[in-house]
Amino acid sequence: MKVKPECAACIVHRGIQEIIEATEDEIVRFQAVNELMKFLAEKFTPQGVPADLGTQRDRIIKRITENPDPYKNKKQISNRKALELFPKVKKLVESEVSTEKRFRKACLCAIVGNILEFDIPDHTFKLESLDDHMKNAEKDLAIDEIAKIYEEAKKAREILYLTDNAGEIVFDTLLVKELQNLGANVTVAVKGGPIINDATLEDAEASGITKIANRVITTGTDAVGLNSKECSKEFLEEYGLADLIIAKGMGYAESLTELKIEKPHALLFRTKCNPVAEFFQVPKGRNVAKLLP
């Protein structure tokens, strides 16, 4: 999907929150703001993809502030809080008797995990409200193609699972487990370097997913969503041979909808902003489980 004019407000808002996290030096903060504005003055065009602009924004911020990982602390907090909630969420999945119902519940938990996010304007979330989100997960499911995803998962021998945020990745372990129970090998791919609050290898370790997945790899790059030009050979090989891709979060939804999709991709995410919600023709603040192509 392409950017809308209002995406600029969100890109700037998140950028400034990140700049403030990254450095306490006010002069450097102003320099980073100026560089960000200069970048958007040139590159914020109707052909822009929000995920790509987010990637470039973050690289500017990391370079100017000389902080390679502004959300390091917030990511650790997210993982810790998600791990505290995990036993409760796990029970929800395990309380289902049939394989298909367990799969469905694990998908919903993975989507609810995607609600854990920092610094998107108007997207306020308290981890404590997780109970409400779990209760509303079915009702909030504006696009429900979980049954179709289940059928693809049953057929798949090799599945590539693309994670989104730290914290969220803790909940992903439940879906990885259900995918394995259907007979598939599951490779989990985290980001190749720090980018916003996206999960990296460090978060894969902290979340416990390393112990569950058949293999954990990285995308080979610190990009929001999927930037195939930058991905490692290892990642592209895995992406090429997988029978099913599970892609978490808006970043992957933004970039995968720009590619020619030739095999099943399951998008699992929450619509956290109007442009993404409008693209998928659902309201903001809803859950989406969509099978591409």
In the complex, the smallest distance separating the C-beta of residue 55 from a second copy, rounded to whole angstroms, is 18
Nearest CA-CA partner of 110 in 221, 183, 202, 199: 199
Say which residues have a Cβ less than 8 Å from residue 114's Cβ, sequence separation at least 6. 164, 165, 168, 248, 249, 268, 269, 270
In the complex, the smallest distance separating the C-beta of residue 274 from a second copy, rounded to whole angstroms, is 11
From residue 190 to residue 229, the character string flagging contacts with a second copy as x (rule: CB under 8 A) and all else as - is ----------------------------------------
State which of positions 19-58 bind a second copy (CB under 8 A). 19-20, 26-27, 29-30, 32-35, 37-38, 40-42, 44-46
In the complex, the smallest distance separating the C-beta of residue 255 from a second copy, rounded to whole angstroms, is 20
CB 32 within 8 A of CB 19: yes
Report the relative pairing of strands 287-292 and 265-270 from DSSP bridges. antiparallel
**Both tokens of residue 178?**
């259900």
| CB nearer a second copy, residue 25 or residue 138 | 25
Q: Is 277 in the site for a second copy (CB under 8 A)?
A: no
In the complex, the smallest distance separating the C-beta of residue 61 from a second copy, rounded to whole angstroms, is 12
Q: Position of tokens 């290892």? A: 234
Q: Is 12 in the site for a second copy (CB under 8 A)?
A: yes
CB 77 within 8 A of CB 206: no
State which of positions 110-149 bind a second copy (CB under 8 A). 121
Name the residue type at position 56: Q
| CB nearer a second copy, residue 27 or residue 97 | 27
| CB nearer a second copy, residue 32 or residue 166 | 32
CA distance 125 to 137: 15
CA dist list (Å): 184 to 157, 188, 289: 4, 12, 20
Nearest CA-CA partner of 149 in 188, 182, 191: 182
In the complex, the smallest distance separating the C-beta of residue 256 from a second copy, rounded to whole angstroms, is 23
Q: Is 9 in the site for a second copy (CB under 8 A)?
A: yes
CB 164 within 8 A of CB 75: no
Q: Is 66 in the site for a second copy (CB under 8 A)?
A: no
In the complex, the smallest distance separating the C-beta of residue 276 from a second copy, rounded to whole angstroms, is 16
CA distance 199 to 122: 23
**Both tokens of residue 225?**
């969503």
| CB nearer a second copy, residue 64 or residue 190 | 64
The binding site for a second copy (CB under 8 A) comprises 5-6, 8-9, 12-13, 16-17, 19-20, 26-27, 29-30, 32-35, 37-38, 40-42, 44-46, 121
